[in-house]
Structure formats: structure tokens, C-alpha cells
Amino acid sequence: MPARRTGVATALAALLVVVGVLAAALSGPLTLEARPRVEPTWTPPVATDVPTSTPAPAAQDLGEAPPTPAWAQWLVRAVQALVVLAALTALALLLRYVTRGWRWDRPDPDADDVPPGDDAGEELGDTAVAVLREGVQEATRALEDDVPPGDAVIGAWLAVETAAARTGVVRDRAQTASEFAVQVLDATRADPAATRELLRLYLAARFGTHGVAVDDVRRARDLLGVVGQGLVPREPAP
């Protein structure tokens, strides 16, 4: 995916900058040394026959430069420590972005964990259900793409979210896209357990520490089949 490759290249360039900053910070301690002062020389005046009552000025011994205060040395060390800490933090974040596609706007994974049994509160018409069927078909095709398992699962669930947004159901401002997709699917006869297991696979692929494997892609395909079989309007309660 060109966009992802461009992002990785940008992250690598920024990584090199961080490494350079870290190397500069660790190359040697900063010191606050007072600039050496040149001791002035005194040339005796030329003797004259006129007696003077004022003695000739003596050379002033200015001495060595005063030492650097202890508090200044500690301040320099504190600044160095902060620079190193900031560089290491940025390095860790960039490595996470390059290896796992970490996003700055990462939501809370638990926010999309919708408990089974929540109703959409609306009845879907035939047109909306047909849009959901097309979304499930698109999600199934996403699982066939020649991409890593995690990207395939993410693409499949995003296709479901897109279809839910196209049904015409009004989305609450407080809802995430995943919560809304679950709500819309719950307005049909789709198996709620299959819907939520598919959502858990998506969350594992996008935010999990271990990601997903090829077996998870097959599992997602089976879950989409189960969801697709239940995509018919729910009969109104008597």
C-alpha cells in the first residue's frame, strides 16, 4: 500500500533524526567553563627628575577565573538527562509506528466491546439490509487480498462499518464507528455472537499485542458467512 510505505519512509527519516539527537546528547558532557581572563601587564613609568609623592601603582593580581558553581553543573546534567529521555521516548514511539502501524488517535479498545443483546432501536428496511449484504460481500473480498492477516481482518471490518454508515441509520455522536456497525447489524437477524467475535478479531488485529494469524482470517470468513445468512429485516415485536 503506497500510503503505508510513504508513512514508514517518513517515520524512518524521523527515526534517523532522533538517533542523531541522541548521539549528540551522549557524545560528551556539556561544561560551563568561565572564559580565561588575561592578566594585564604593568610597565613601570620612565623615571624623571621630578620627584613624586604618589607611589607607583602596583600590578593588580587578578588571579584565576572563578570556578563554575555547583548548581550550574547540576543544571547541565539535568538538561542532558531530559534530552536523552525525550530522544529515547521518541525513538520507542517511532519504532512502534514502523513495526505495528501505531496511530496517534488510537481509541480505547474496550469502547468497541459491545455486550450482546443491545438493540438498534430501529427497524431496517429492505434497502438498508441490501446495503449490509453488499458490505459483507465486500468484507469477504477483503479477506482474499494478498495482504498480511491483520490488514485483511481490518479491511474486512472497515467494509462492514462503511456499509452500516450507508444504510441511512442516524449515528449518535457519542458512538464509535464499530459501536454503530454493531447496532445496525443488531437490527437484523444476524447472529449477535458472530458479529461481536468478528469485532474482537478486528480489535486484536488493530490494537492487540500479538495480532492475528492466517487461522484468524479463515475464522473471520466463517463469521462473515454466519452474519450474512442473518441479514434479513427483523420482524417487529407483537
| pLDDT for 88 | 77
Give the pLDDT mean for 212-236.
Answer: 89
Q: Which residues contact 209 (CB under 8 A, 6 or more apart)?
A: none
pLDDT (tens digit, 9 = 90+) per residue, 181-200? 999 999 999 999 999 999 99
Please give the model's pTM, rounded to 2 decimal places: 0.50
Q: How far apart are CA 160 and CA 139, in angstroms?
A: 6
Q: How far apart are CA 70 and CA 32, in angstroms?
A: 10
| pLDDT for 116 | 40
| pLDDT for 21 | 61
Q: How far apart are CA 183 and CA 196, in angstroms?
A: 11
| pLDDT for 33 | 52
* Position 212 confidence tier, pLDDT thresholds 50, 70, 90: confident
Domain ranges of the chain: 1-33+68-106, 109-229
Question: Which residue matches cell numbers 572564559?
Answer: 35
Q: How far apart are CA 97 and CA 71, in angstroms?
A: 39
| pLDDT for 189 | 92
pLDDT (tens digit, 9 = 90+) per residue, 77-107? 888 888 877 877 877 776 665 554 444 444 4
Q: Which residues contact 139 (CB under 8 A, 6 or more apart)?
A: 155, 156, 157, 159, 160, 163, 224
Full DSSP string of 192-216: HHHHHHHHHHHHHHHH-SS---HHH
How remote is the C-alpha of 8 from its chain's centroid? 13
Average pLDDT, the chain: 74
Q: Which three cell numbers stand for residue 121?
A: 432501536
